[in-house]
Amino acid sequence: MKLKFVFTLIFLAAVSILHSQTYPVPDILYYKFNSGGTTTPNYAVPGQGNNPAPLLGGLTNGMTGQFDSALVGAGASSTTAYVNTGWNMNFGTSSWTISTWINNIPATGTNYLFGNDITTSFRCFTNGAAGAGNITLRGLNATVFPNINVTSVLPGANVIHFVYDSVSTTLKVYVNGAFQSSTLMPALNLTAAVVFKVGGYGTAAGLGQGWLMDEFRVYKRALDTAEISATWNNPLPHTVTGVSQQNNHVPEVYSLSQNYPNPFNPATTINYSIPVASNVVLKVYDLMGREVETIYSGYQVAGNYQAVFKAANIASGFYTYRLTAGSFTETKKMLLVK
């Protein structure tokens, strides 16, 4: 009995600890386009290619990006206008992820967002064969790299993830953190002999006049759904604080408490209760209904829970948070004051 009591105390102490997950910066390229001037730092660790990377042919850092400024198109040929990454694609047969935020791109006209040399013909373009309002990721031909179409993303603003898993040889597409499609691919081997271009491809039409790109990220690994959901609308690195079970008392009803403190800066606590084991989703939205952050998404046993929402990277204002557990849904409002 004494040993059982000790194990019980250890268990209760363990579940009361707040767990957190830190998502790192990419390992190949990470451009925030926030430096001004005619270069942009590569925040990737360890990173590859030029640091900083030159913006050529009239491309600039400016206007409104996903978080601050963005890469602004010049409407010129990719021969001269592109971000010179200095990186020759060296994925080989490994997994990889490429993501970017795009905005202000018309649903007509074929221009190139990024790409490599003609040998691999790895490129991403707007409209055209993709259809109005869509973009396509394409390789050398349909045999070695079937077209990957991303639908209804123009004119934006949207964040697109392309995720290739070398184990399952599937290429998945996510838009604004949500899964859109999955395509079974041949086993890919992507290695190029020339510089990978952002804002252009080969000699084709590059980023159009006033078109915007931001948060360009390249990883030599396949991001999973949880990491994409947690990071698509956050600058990196990003730490998500998880949810802790507060005690072993099983509540009788579902409930979502008002956050405290409220108003808050920069963190606030949210308590909720679920009387039966459920799939639980706790999310934060702005007043336009746009998702700001997923605090928790997963299966939880019955109990009382506490979550901490950290808002260091979002602007002051009113936000809502919504709990969905089984058939229960409740939303409350909170105020961030910086």
| pLDDT tens per residue across span 251-267 | 889 999 999 999 999 88
Residue 327 · residue 315 · CB < 8 Å:
no
* Domain enclosing residue 306, as ranges: 7-22+241-336
Give yes or no: residues 118 and 70 share one domain.
yes
Split at pLDDT 50, 70, 90, the class of 129 is confident
Q: Report pLDDT digits (tens) over 212-261.
A: 999 999 999 999 998 998 889 888 887 665 677 776 678 889 999 999 99
pLDDT, tens only, 53-100:
999 999 999 988 998 899 999 999 999 999 999 999 999 999 999 999
- pLDDT of 241 reads 59
pLDDT at 239: 64
Angstrom CA distances, 182 to 114, 173, 199, stand at 21, 6, 25
Residues 226 and 288 in one domain: no
Q: CATH number for the domain including 199?
A: 2.60.120.200
Q: What percent of the chain has pLDDT over 90?
A: 65
How confident is residue 18, by pLDDT bands cut at 50, 70 and 90?
very low
Q: Is residue 87 situated within a structural domain?
A: yes
> Are 311 and 192 contained in the same domain?
no
Question: Is 168 within a domain?
Answer: yes
pLDDT of 3 > 50? The answer is: no
- Burial of 325: CB neighbours in 10 Å, binned 0-12, 13-18, 19+: buried
Q: Are residues 40 and 185 in the same domain?
A: yes
- Kindly tell me if the per-residue pLDDT of 167 is higher than 60: yes
**Contacting residues for 333 by C-beta, under 8 A, at least 6 apart:** 318, 319, 320
